[in-house]
Structure 1
Amino acid sequence: MTPVEDTHARLDAQARRLHATALSQVSPQTLSRLRAARHAAQATDAPARAGHWRWFAATTFTAVLAVGIGLQLMPADPALPPAGEQPAAPAIASSTGTQQDDFDAATLLDEDPDLYLWLASVEAQPLAMESIP
């Protein structure tokens, strides 16, 4: 053993001897009261400490989870409206003078014959193959 370890071992042995001597001089009634008080203090103190830690961990986990869900639900482009809302599209006037909604595909395609030429062009095919995220 090194001198430092030897010193620590001797100090430990001396402290144990002094503790044993002190315990032999205390009455059994006092020891039982001290033991009961120690157990009562541990029983009331331990749940309070553990409860605070559990509440803190649960609150932190919930906050992190809420932030993560919130970030997932945010739109990718702030200029775009949320997913549930459709932007107001202008109504299209047909040749008869009545207005039709923007989902009337026949009217949209009838108004732009150049669309068919563009669809047949070489530059339309790669664009059609792209996936929208």
Structure 2
Amino acid sequence: MNPHTPDDGGFDAQARTLHRASLAQMSPQAMARLRAARHEAQRAAPASGDARPWRWLTATAFTAVLAVGVGLQFLPQAPTPSSPGVTTPAPLASTDGETLDETAAGTLEEDPDLYLWLASAEAQPLAME
């Protein structure tokens, strides 16, 4: 847009005066033909406001469904119940009342040699493979 200057009011008034003078010089037949052509063009042209809201609504709805679908992929998955015919084997019990699975996990967590080995030069090439 053009910036407004203090003398814009004079320019606008002058343009309106010239427009009125040009309309006064035009014949009524020419005005009627121009008016009819303008009305015909408005009827023939599709309504510009009808299709656009539906396009925006459709695009927004599609985007929302897509976002929900992607968001559902990141939700934690609940464990599926096993079928009634399949049984899982019970862990073997050790002598002190703990299961072998718990003692194996406990020894890995409490063994300082494991952490020393991870920091050694031998573990780094294995981690790179």
Relative to the length of structure 2, the TM-score reads 0.50
